[in-house]
Amino acid sequence: MNKINQLFSERHDRKLLSLYFCAGCPTLDLTGAVITTLQRRGVSMIEVGIPFSDPLADGPVIEGAGTVALRNGMTLDLLFSQLRAVKDDVRIPLVLMGYLNVIMHYGVEPFFARCVECGVSGCIIPDLPFQDYLDVVKPVADRYDIRVIMMITPETSEERIRFIDDHTDGFIYMVSSAGITGAQQSFGDAKLAYFERIDAMQLRNPRMIGFGISNRQTLESARAHAAGVIIGSKFVTLLNETGDPERAMDELFNALKQ
């Protein structure tokens, strides 16, 4: 069974935690150490960012991390090599997050073949048009048993959400706001109403809420309406500040208690 599906079939406590970091930042060779540290510290799933020069959905923190990673010399081939080196030690799902241009340049078939070789269970492609997903990407991903995770936002129509739910597997990435990534101090009434509306739809796929989770209030609000949360900008900031995944995790857990 795909590790993503296995995770959600085993855990129903709404306390899943997925962390995002950008491969190659703050240093080129830290990827394996970040992954093994996060797994040891109890993270449920890890999103590994593929740096790109024009990340449309990313806020300044993650965009900056991508810039550093590219300057450090990170490439998709190098990332696959780093993932392969720790494959036998990784038990939790790994999800690659990258933009369509990078994947198309690499080749859709070679990309998913390398994902399998390196222990990757899924991918998120924020700028992938849904029709291209159905016609081009999904048939190849299905052949390699890789889950392609789609995003929804407060502006996504119910019709589109149900269509996504019917044609994807794994989980749905529920973006807390229609804006770019970045930490927030709280979720207002409009966002909470959005969470409740999607919760009431009783979708087939489990949902993970991301964008803006950085403290106890945002963590608990998201957990009340989904299977778990995705934290990106806050962890990336802490990893950049400390240069040490262990210390970054200590500081993240402290922040989530406040």
Point out the catalytic residue in the list 29, 54, 58, 155.
58
Q: What is the identity of the amino acid at 124?
A: I
What's the rounded Cα separation, in Å, for the pair 203 and 170? 12
Question: Any catalytic annotation for residue 29?
Answer: no
What's the rounded Cα separation, in Å, for the pair 119 and 94? 7
Question: Any catalytic annotation for residue 47?
Answer: yes
Point out the catalytic residue in the list 10, 47, 127, 189.
47
Active site residues: 47, 58
